[in-house]
Structure 1
Amino acid sequence: MMSAAAGAAGLSFGGLANAAAAPPRKDPAPPVKPDRGPLPVMAVRQVQTDTLDIGYHETGPADGHPVILLHGFPYDIHSYVEVAPLLAAQGYRVIVPHLRGHGSTRFLDAATPRSGQQAAIGQDLLDLMDALHIPEAVLAGYDWGGRAACVVAALRPSRVVGLVSVNSYLIQDIAKAANPAPAKVEAGFWYQFYFLTERGRAGLTANRDDIARIMWEGNSPTWRFDGPTFSRAAKAFDNPDYVEVVLHSYRHRLGHAPGFAEYGKQEAILATGPVIKVPAITLDGIDDGVIRATDGSASAARFGGPRVHRQIPGVGHNLPQEAPQAFADAVAELARNGKWRT
């Protein structure tokens, strides 16, 4: 097992050790030009699994090594609007799915529970890989998407060539999350407690865009996004299952809603805090307004394979959209140096 402190000195694959020693890249925020024209919109395809009709963007050569990029809440696939073409240009097959409850992803059966628990979004990722005939991939994400990637990396490491995770180890300890933490720690998580209430349900139902905008501003206090950028993402919240999936996610996490039986076995394993043994690069935005940037040492024991942790200056919670080059570099590094079996 390799600690975060030892990661830069002793990694066993490719040029990762040298890259870890280099100073992190900071993407300057481009000036917003009034005459820039329409924002690019990522084209979406659909594929069915046993549970979902999943909307996803695909770019790059069909025979390239696959990388799957996963967005968070409350965001959408356009968190990767610049990352995806950077990776496609290097020859990777890039898949960017809408998570359940977002965008054009729909449940196939009205009777299926609208679960937002971590095992559900992890299973969705595995099902997507199966539906697209992807035996293995580099997985990369932040927030909910980073959690899905961590879940799959822990439970099915044979399917994962490498992991990029913003905020390090994101598998939730449900018992710990249900216990109060210091106010300074929980200040950025106000929405989670709001969603425990029926007032929160009513508020999210009526004001999903306003809540998301408040969260964007708090999550990334140095990110100067504009109205069209937000509106492009907010279209993904106009999903019939958005409210129920979001509410269950946080109510389950905080012990106010049970998990669903079909995910019981996975949740039991996740409750043990399984070690992630695949090669990993973890990233923190120094200006993250939700989760304070760290040196990665606190989560070192959760990574049993080679792992490098980097802090990215001037960046908040939506790291791939705020620092697309730094995020793409991490994904490409793992893909380039990974041990692909197929």
Structure 2
Amino acid sequence: MTARLTTFTNDGLTFDVHDDGPADGTPVVLLHGFPQTSASWARVTPHLHAAGYRTIVPDQRGYSPGARPRGRYAYRMSALVGDVAALIDTLGAGPVHLVGHDWGAAVAWSTAANRPHLVATLTSVSVPHPMAFVRSIVSSSQGFRSIYMAVFQIPWLPELVLTRMLRAAATGGPQRRARAMAAAHLDDEQFDRLLRDIVDGGALPYALNWYRAMAITTPRSGLAKVAAPTTHVWSTRDAFIARRSADLAARYVTGPYRIEVLDATHWVPEERPAELAALIVARARGDETT
């Protein structure tokens, strides 16, 4: 019987992993985004298990308590890709079906582009290839949608303000909580996880370092195209990612490529888990007609 993973190590760091589904199933590695943890995939994985897939879902760098190095340099894209590569090597199962949402999608794109031997197929959710994202900033509303990324570059202040705002929303009564949830398009479960895992769990300062490392990420790492069969999923009510970026993503894939559009906000894995799982399975099986 295949041994289950509960942790893996890289760069002297220890990462928590949720390894579920059929032990002999083909592995699907799912990468979460900001400000979330592996729990963001909890509504998707049962559908993948039912289709016969084994799911490997790590808490990434800055989110796993044992993998929280200080300083933004530790969160550059090459380090994040290195973590995924170490996870796949630990699995020892050959190339995997790689899935990412939000920042997890950015890491998945970079992994598929720069470590192609590790990736059988790619399904990206919300965030497109890095160069498609950059090009959309100057050719659409993406620049306006991404202003918060510039704000996150300020040391200390963003985590302080976000922590105070979220805790005030949690304790300020039902109406204040409801307004905060509506502004972020979160449901009760997502909001509670954000408070518990990110704010109270101490991950927020480290998670913000992903943004702060953007300025020191080597541009070359985002230029390579992806050869793996790829599906990119965009959602019609995404407040953070413009449609233009999704349309540009096709230019950075040399293998089979599809774009899928779902009716959802940015939080596709929680809002459309069954539909997203079906798209992941279709890509993994090479079904170009579903």
Superposition TM-score, scaled by structure 1 size: 0.69
Is 1:328 aligned to residue 277 of structure 2?
yes
- AA at the equivalent of 1:243: P
Match of 2:148 in 1: 191
Cα deviation, residue 305, structure 1: 0.5
Maintained 8 Å contact 1:80/1:321: yes
Which of 1 and 2 has greater Rg? 1
Match of 1:270 in 2: 221
For 2:92 and 2:51, how far apart are their aligned partners in 1? Answer: 21
C-alpha distance after superposition, 1:212-235 (max 9, x if no partner): 999974554xx6x12x44213432
CA spacing shift, 1:164–1:216, aligned 2, 3 Å:
farther
Is 1:250 aligned to residue 211 of structure 2?
yes
Match of 1:298 in 2: 248
Give 5+ residue unaligned stretches, structure 2: 171-176
- AA at the equivalent of 1:202: L
Aligned equivalent of 2:160, options 202, 213, 219: 202
The share of aligned pairs that are identical, in percent, is 27
Match of 1:98 in 2: 59
Give 5+ residue unaligned stretches, structure 1: 1-43, 260-266
CA spacing shift, 1:242–1:69, aligned 2, 3 Å:
same
Superposition TM-score, scaled by structure 2 size: 0.81
Structure with larger RCO (C-alpha < 8 A, sep 6+): 1
Cα RMSD over matched residues? Answer: 3.3
Maintained 8 Å contact 1:286/1:292: no
Range moving further from structure 2, 162-171 or 82-91: 162-171
C-alpha distance after superposition, 1:118-173 (max 9, x if no partner): 22222111111122323211011111111111111101111111111123533258
For 1:210 and 1:148, how far apart are their aligned partners in 2? Answer: 32
Is 1:159 aligned to residue 124 of structure 2?
no
Cα deviation, residue 241, structure 1: 5.3
Is 1:83 aligned to residue 44 of structure 2?
yes
Maintained 8 Å contact 2:128/2:246: no
Match of 2:95 in 1: 136
For 1:135 and 1:189, how far apart are their aligned partners in 2? Answer: 36
Is 1:230 aligned to residue 187 of structure 2?
no
- AA at the equivalent of 1:200: P
Maintained 8 Å contact 1:288/1:317: yes
Number of residues paired by the alignment? Answer: 274
Cα deviation, residue 64, structure 1: 1.0
Query: What are the equivalent positions in structure 2 for 1:122-133 lying under 5 Å apart?
Result: 122-133=81-92
For 1:281 and 1:288, how far apart are their aligned partners in 2? Answer: 17
SS in 1 for 2:148: helix
Match of 2:174 in 1: none
SS in 2 for 1:165: strand
C-alpha distance after superposition, 1:250-281 (max 9, x if no partner): 2332x3xx35xxxxxxx35314x111110011
CA spacing shift, 1:209–1:146, aligned 2, 3 Å:
farther
